[in-house]
Amino acid sequence: MNMHFEIYRDEHLQFRWKLTADSGKVVAHSAEGFRTIDDCNHAIALIKTCAESEVRDASFRQTSTPTTQLTHATIPRPTPNDDPPSIA
> What is the Cα–Cα distance from 4 to 18, expressed in whole angstroms?
8
**Residues facing 44 on adjacent strands:** none
> What is the Cα–Cα distance from 38 to 7, expressed in whole angstroms?
11
Which has the higher per-residue pLDDT, 87 or 59?
Answer: 59
Phi, psi of 70 (to 5 degrees): -75, 130
User: What pLDDT is attached to residue 51?
Assistant: 80
Rounded average pLDDT over 4-20: 97
Helix, strand, or coil (residue 37): helix
Q: What is the pLDDT of residues 35-85, one digit of tens each?
A: 999 999 999 999 999 888 888 888 876 666 555 554 444 445 555 555 555
User: What pLDDT is attached to residue 25?
Assistant: 96
The CATH code that applies to domain 1-50 is 3.30.160.160
User: What pLDDT is attached to residue 24?
Assistant: 94
